[in-house]
Amino acid sequence: MLEPIKYENEILIEGIPKQWLPMIKLFDPYLPQYPIMYVHIKNSERIYGFPINYNIKKEKAGKLDISFLFLSNKKLDKKSIDIVKTELMERIGLKNKVTLKDIEQGSKKDEHKKYLMKLWKFFINKTYGGELPFGKFYEPFLSIIRCSAAFNPMSGAKSEWQMLYDFVRYYGEEIKICDEYSYLEFYLLPTYEEIVDNKISEDFQNFFNLLSSVEKIGNLLYEEIAIDDLKMFSFKGMTSNTEGFDLRKGPQFRSYTSYLLKKGKISSTDKKMLDFLVDAFNRMPTRALGFVTIMFNTIKGVNFNTWKKEEIDSLYLNRKKTKMIYPKIIGMILQQGFGNEDAVPIDNWINSIYEEPLQIKSEEEFLSLFEKVGKIERLFWLVSQARKTNMKIVFDILWCIKYGTGASTQRITGDKDKRLKRGPNPLSCLDCNLKNECSGFNFIKNEKIKFIELKGKKAPKETEINEKFDWMFLVFTQNNIPKFVYKKIKNKWSLVDAFTGYEIHEKKVSGNKIKSVNEFIKSN
């Protein structure tokens, strides 16, 4: 029987950088009644609960000692408090935090090491206190739900939390919370280890029913494949193996489960479990099937607790062999739910940093050039998000990773909308404080630019440019101020940067209209 939560315990965690306070989230504004930071341990006994608030006890040399009020189903003894403390340190990211040493030792090439160490000192020392959180940010099984919801969300974090809440409310077991905190809601799911060991307590009947339904539909839709030495179960196909039903569409998914029910391949309970799974993931069957893929593989013996770098890299490098196995989602789960240092969720922002300033050309090369790449990714992710929001501290770095034209291309040139990263170019590198250590700048610094003064305000259409390809860049100016950067890409001039405002620079070009990138930057 699952016990109510009624005990208060004080748990002291020492040495938290004060800059991390904004990242300690016990609740989310979208779910003010549901604790998103919780602990669930099943050893000789089952312990579960969550911190309800915290108080700063003291500060020394920029580090805080913080006391968390932890509500639990049992009165914790010293041994249990130590276990819960370790788990809370994981949720905060303190147990296995990222340090400058990780960046230094994790970079196999000196040029990357020098760049990332300077980036760290420039940004991380001040903004995050010289250390970054890393570890099991979410209870491991919760991370599978949380990260499955992160696949192509329609309205960002709001819809992700909505999906997580819908899932736990329907498939989890509601736990009573006593006394003054009874206004909160808490739903418990089995631990990941219980699922792996196939020892799910009868207390979790809702989830047991879901898992049984997942196994039934998984046996119909999945096939075993080999990815190097890794064996997994991959989706057979959206229409070829589903009796013609297109499972990418919610109504078609429900029609398919009705068809299976009519054929006697699933029960009415199975249909209910599977249909609501699509609803829980905001009516998007591909999200629900992503979760089914992970669960079906777990049922069949794939244990993410044991994954090493080889398994993770194999998944990325053989993605064409798989269906419904999303490397980014699994990388996120392994990194943020299981604390795997070799796991990395590669998205557009991570990709932009290794491609542009580091000049790494492929995922395979990126994965091979760093040790503990999951820790390196934390630096990439946080600085890219700071760049995305134009934080003052990063205003003069990493313009190359932003999209320089995007939806404005059509407005500026009349050409069809497209998204190109600015990349290293004369304007994105102009005032960058990291260019002296940057592989991207080093790659272009001796390339030639031709400057052309515009007669009007509009940039020319790419198809209208008849200039020869004797230089890498064309820069169009207005009143001698550089405005539009075109780059030679596959023997075509492509607009990669468009500065339509004046906040970034008002520096005029003087003298020779053809010069190297380095000459242009030194003269400005």
- Summarised one tens digit per residue, pLDDT across range 278-298 is 999 888 888 999 999 999 999
Contact between residue 31 and residue 6 where contact means Cβ atoms under 8 Å apart: no
State mean pLDDT over 201-217: 94
Average pLDDT, the chain: 89
Instruction: Give the model confidence (pLDDT) of 235-249 as tens digits.
Output: 887 655 677 788 888
**What does the block give as tokens for 352?**
């932009």
Residue 407 in this model has a pLDDT that exceeds 70: no
Contact between residue 283 and residue 318 where contact means Cβ atoms under 8 Å apart: no
Residue 464 in this model has a pLDDT that exceeds 80: yes
- Distance, CA of 345 to CA of 363 (rounded, Å): 11
**pLDDT category, 397, cuts 50, 70, 90?**
very high
- Distance, CA of 26 to CA of 92 (rounded, Å): 10
pLDDT of residue 325: 84
Domain range list for the chain: 7-96, 140-336, 399-522
Identify the residue with better confidence: 507 or 287: 287
How crowded is the C-beta side of 244, counted as CA atoms within 13 Å?
A: 1
Which conformational region is residue 246 in: left (phi greater than 0), alpha (psi within -120 to 50 degrees), or beta? beta
State mean pLDDT over 350-377: 95
Residues forming a β-bridge with 187? 174
Contact between residue 222 and residue 233 where contact means Cβ atoms under 8 Å apart: yes
pLDDT of residue 511: 67
Instruction: Give the model confidence (pLDDT) of 307-321 as tens digits.
Output: 999 999 998 888 877
pLDDT of residue 229: 83
**pLDDT category, 409, cuts 50, 70, 90?**
very low
Q: Is the torsion defined by CA of 218, 223, 227, 230 positive or negative?
A: positive
pLDDT of residue 406: 45
Contact between residue 106 and residue 5 where contact means Cβ atoms under 8 Å apart: no
Q: Is the torsion defined by CA of 497, 503, 509, 515 positive or negative?
A: negative
Residues composing the chain:
524
Contact partners, residue 425, CB within 8 Å, separation at least 6: 400, 404, 444, 473, 485, 487, 496, 497, 517
pLDDT > 70 in the chain, percent: 93
State mean pLDDT over 200-208: 92
* Residue ranges in 369-438 assigned as alpha helix (H): 373-388, 409-413
Q: What 3-state DSSP class applies to 425? A: coil
* First CA to last CA distance, the chain: 72
Residue 41 in this model has a pLDDT that exceeds 80: yes
pLDDT of residue 415: 47
pLDDT of residue 158: 80
Contact between residue 308 and residue 338 where contact means Cβ atoms under 8 Å apart: no
State mean pLDDT over 346-373: 94
- Distance, CA of 86 to CA of 89 (rounded, Å): 5
pLDDT > 90 in the chain, percent: 66
Residue 410 in this model has a pLDDT that exceeds 70: no
pLDDT of residue 398: 93
Listed residue (34, 62, 37, 31) closest to 135, CA to CA: 37
**pLDDT category, 30, cuts 50, 70, 90?**
confident
pLDDT of residue 318: 86
Which of 98-107, 335-344, 349-358, 494-503 is predicted with the least confidence, judged by mean pLDDT? 494-503
Residue 416 in this model has a pLDDT that exceeds 90: no
Q: Is this model's pTM higher than 0.85 or not?
A: yes
pLDDT of residue 228: 84
Contact partners, residue 219, CB within 8 Å, separation at least 6: none
